[in-house]
């Protein structure tokens, strides 16, 4: 299959408007062994870099490149590697003024205008991934969803990992569960802390969405999560009543106080706790008497108009019937409720029952503040309803950018055996096209996989073909072997690959088939959902990494693409919509992160093949 490489090197165009606190990221240098024994070294391009920024690569103090690296992707192959080695990347040249309240240039060692970042590759490093040892609590727990945040302000991400007990349950099932645990690890495997969520938080996919983000703008990420009596922080401090047990005979928790808590990201110590909004109240008011409706939770983070450079966390309850979204601000001292959206408010009564198992956060209307797409409806930055399509609940949702005009769209699917799937304008809810269906359309996917078609392609589990932005079925694309799970930028071109069931696959548009290009040795999570612990642009160049667990849950494996690329693109985590998408990836039914700008081939495949 021919690899598509455009003639011109591209630098990412970031979304405008929203001004979030800038993460002070370092170069994210990473070195990975290839199957041929060579070592692939990769590092970040930053938004403040000039497109011709020069880089030098060193191994144990010896420069490896003959001339400065000023063109093409930010990677280098060490043709004659040693055993254990320290790889170092030094940037040379002027940098554009950084946006936000803090300058990115303050991170890392600087000598005479040079910026230095290193990575140590061990002699026994495996091929293709970074092994990260984790401390398995016991045989009752397996590593599950994860997130990342810079908890100490050094420019490198740490991993926050959720441990799920093997007796966890979906809301629709009865049964006792062991506690959910949250750990924080450095990329070298050092455990920073562990939080035990205790017996009064039931374990399962819908009970514990967690937000890891710098919420007060101090350069260090915090953790926010729903809590209850008996939770023990990393220092042993117990929230509420340490002996309370609100579980009923079915293992469900339908009474007792509920809280929202913020924890120090570096120490795991609780810093403030407030009553959860909304309180559970009478369980029947949510649609049933056993907590299948009342105990459905989502969470997100976004900029909703507070002090410049600060964000708010949003914690939610319900989506099948009543839905409530509560925005919380953390100023470093106290949690404060910014606003609450509640479909029990008569003004928003029609919005009830419109939520998904997931959500998207992005500035969809260009006002410089973020909105929340909550399934078939959206909530504005001020906590007021933005629009409501009335198409009801669904399991998957995607943010799409039109390559021609930069307009944002939502691709959504529905399980009501009526509304099927729809593409709509993200700012108004105006439907571009809809594919009605009398089946539960449980999955949907959107990605630019074929350069012959301008923009993004869309498909769903109703198996009625792949469509373009106009809703037209693309007869020259076969759905055979094409998953509806995660998208991932993995190889060297700008087309997106597909991530599902421990494999990265690519749609081969020349031969009209989907083929596996990277097999991952490890386990995906959450049963039939089959999602990784995390997929995101965590380190290295602009391509995304995949974080999974080994079968024993004693090790995380961070897979890194070693495929050369000609594209020089800024770190995707510096795109607001993408970064917020990563922060909410662990929520409900996990969804892949997506950018707020168009990243793809635009359909200009003929010129690029010449």
Tell me the CA distances in angstroms from 544 to 272, 572, 573, one per residue in order: 34, 9, 10
What count of other Cβ atoms lies within 10 Å of the Cβ of residue 513? 15
CA distances to 286, 420, 442, 445 from 459, in Å: 32, 11, 12, 6
Closest CA to 560 of 82, 74, 40, 145: 40
Q: What is the pLDDT of residue 101?
A: 28
Q: Which of 542, 609, 608, 606 is nearest to 13 (CA)?
A: 542
Q: Where are the beta strands (DSSP E) in 229-334?
A: 231-232, 238-239, 258-264, 270-275, 297-302, 312-317, 324-330
Tell me if the pTM is above 0.85. Answer: yes
Instruction: Report the C-alpha gap between 339 and 323 in whole angstroms.
Output: 14
Q: Which of 142, 334, 298 is nearest to 222 (CA)?
A: 334
pLDDT at 93: 74
Please enumerate in sequence order all residues whose Cβ is within 8 A of that of 139, keeping only pairs 6 or more positions apart, or say none: none
Sort 478 into a burial class: Cβ within 10 Å, 0-12 / 13-18 / 19+.
Answer: middle
Query: Contact, 287 vs 321, CB < 8 A?
Result: yes
Give the per-residue pLDDT at 14.
41
Expressed in angstroms, the distance from the first to the final Cα of the chain is 15
Q: Which residues pair with 506 in a beta bridge?
A: 515
What is residue 94's predicted lDDT score, i.e. its pLDDT?
63
Contacts of 282 (CB under 8 A, 6+ apart): none
Q: Which helix (H) or strand (E) holds 605?
A: helix 605-609
Q: Which residues of the chain have pLDDT under 70?
A: 1-21, 94-116, 306-309, 463, 603-610
From 298, 223, 300, 319, select the one nearest 268 (Cα to Cα). 223
C-alpha dist (Å) from residue 93 to 5, 49, 88, 99, 437: 26, 9, 17, 18, 56
Measure the CA–CA gap between 519 and 498, rounded to whole angstroms.
12
C-alpha to C-alpha distances, 191 to 132, 187, 291, 553, nearest whole angstrom: 10, 10, 35, 15
- Coil, strand or helix: which one is 487? strand
Per-residue CA distances from 541 to 43, 203, 376, 462, 556 (Å):
5, 36, 35, 36, 20
Per-residue pLDDT at 538? 98
Give the gyration radius of the chain's Cα atoms.
23
Question: Is the backbone peptide bond immediately before 278 cis, with ω within 30 degrees of 0?
Answer: yes
d(CA 310, CA 329): 9
Ramachandran assignment for 160, one of left (phi > 0), alpha (psi -120 to 50 degrees), beta (any other): beta
Beta strands in 46-180 (DSSP E): 54-59, 62-63, 75-78, 85-92, 109-111, 114-121, 129-133, 141-149, 158-165
User: CA 118, CA 354: separation in Å to the nearest integer?
Assistant: 48
* Number of Cβ atoms within 10 Å of the Cβ of 280: 18
């Amino acid at each position: 299959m021919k690899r598509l490489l455009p003639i011109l090197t591209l630098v990412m165009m970031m979304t405008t408007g929203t001004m979030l606190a800038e993460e002070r990221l370092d170069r994210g240098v990473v070195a990975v062994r290839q199957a041929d024994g060579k070592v692939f070294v990769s590092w970040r391009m930053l938004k403040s870099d000039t497109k011709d920024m020069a880089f030098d690569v060193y191994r144990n103090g010896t420069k490896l490149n003959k001339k400065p690296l000023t063109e093409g992707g930010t990677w280098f192959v060490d043709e004659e590697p040693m055993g254990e080695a320290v790889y170092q990347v030094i940037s040379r040249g002027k940098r554009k003024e950084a946006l936000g309240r803090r300058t990115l240039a303050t991170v890392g060692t600087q000598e005479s205008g040079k910026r230095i970042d290193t990575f140590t590759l061990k002699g026994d490093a495996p091929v293709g991934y970074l092994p990260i040892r984790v401390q398995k609590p016991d045989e009752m727990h397996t590593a599950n969803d994860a997130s990342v945040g810079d908890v100490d302000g050094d420019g490198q991400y740490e991993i926050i990992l959720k441990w799920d007990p093997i007796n966890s349950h979906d809301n629709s099932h009865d049964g006792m569960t062991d506690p959910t645990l949250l750990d924080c690890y450095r990329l070298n495997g050092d455990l920073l802390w562990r939080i035990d969520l205790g017996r009064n938080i039931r374990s399962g996919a819908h009970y514990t969405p967690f937000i890891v983000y710098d919420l007060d703008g101090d350069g260090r990420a915090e953790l926010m999560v729903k809590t209850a009596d008996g939770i023990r922080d990393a220092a042993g401090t117990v929230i509420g009543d340490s002996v309370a047990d609100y579980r009923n005979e079915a293992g469900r928790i339908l009474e007792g106080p509920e809280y929202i808590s913020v924890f120090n990201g570096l120490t795991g110590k609780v810093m403030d706790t407030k009553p959860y909004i909304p309180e559970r109240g009478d369980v029947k008011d949510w649609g049933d008497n056993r907590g299948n409706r009342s105990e459905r939770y989502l969470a997100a983070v976004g900029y909703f108009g507070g002090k410049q450079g600060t964000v708010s966390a949003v914690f939610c309850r319900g989506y099948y019937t009543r839905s409530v979204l509560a925005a919380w601000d953390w100023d470093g001292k106290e949690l404060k409720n910014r606003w609450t959206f509640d479909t029990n408010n008569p003004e928003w009564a029609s919005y009830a029952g419109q939520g998904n198992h997931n959500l998207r956060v992005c500035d969809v209307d260009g006002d410089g503040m973020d909105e929340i797409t909550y399934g078939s409806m959206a909530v504005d930055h001020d906590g007021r309803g933005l629009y409501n399509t009335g198409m009801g609940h669904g399991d998957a949702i995607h943010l799409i950018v039109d390559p021609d005009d930069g307009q944002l769209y939502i691709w959504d699917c529905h399980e009501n055996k009526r509304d099927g799937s729809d593409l709509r304008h993200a700012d108004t809810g105006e439907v571009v096209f809809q594919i009605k269906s009398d089946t539960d359309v449980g999955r949907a996917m959107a990605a630019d996989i074929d350069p012959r078609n301008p923009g993004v392609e869309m498909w769903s589990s109703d198996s009625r073909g792949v469509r373009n932005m106009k809703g037209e079925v693309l007869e020259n694309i076969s759905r055979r072997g094409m998953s509806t799970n995660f998208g991932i930028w993995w190889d060297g071109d700008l087309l997106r690959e597909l991530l599902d069931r421990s494999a990265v696959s690519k749609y081969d548009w020349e031969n009209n088939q989907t083929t596996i290009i990277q097999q991952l040795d490890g386990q995906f999570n959450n049963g039939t959902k089959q999602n990784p612990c995390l997929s995101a642009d965590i380190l290295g160049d602009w391509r995304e990494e995949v974080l999974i667990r080994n079968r024993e849950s004693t090790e995380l494996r961070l897979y890194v693409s070693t495929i050369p690329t000609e594209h020089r693109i800024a770190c995707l985590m510096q795109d607001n919509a993408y970064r917020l998408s990563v922060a909410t990836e662990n929520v409900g039914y996990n969804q892949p992160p997506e950018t707020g700008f168009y990243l793809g081939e635009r359909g200009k495949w003929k010129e690029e093949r010449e």
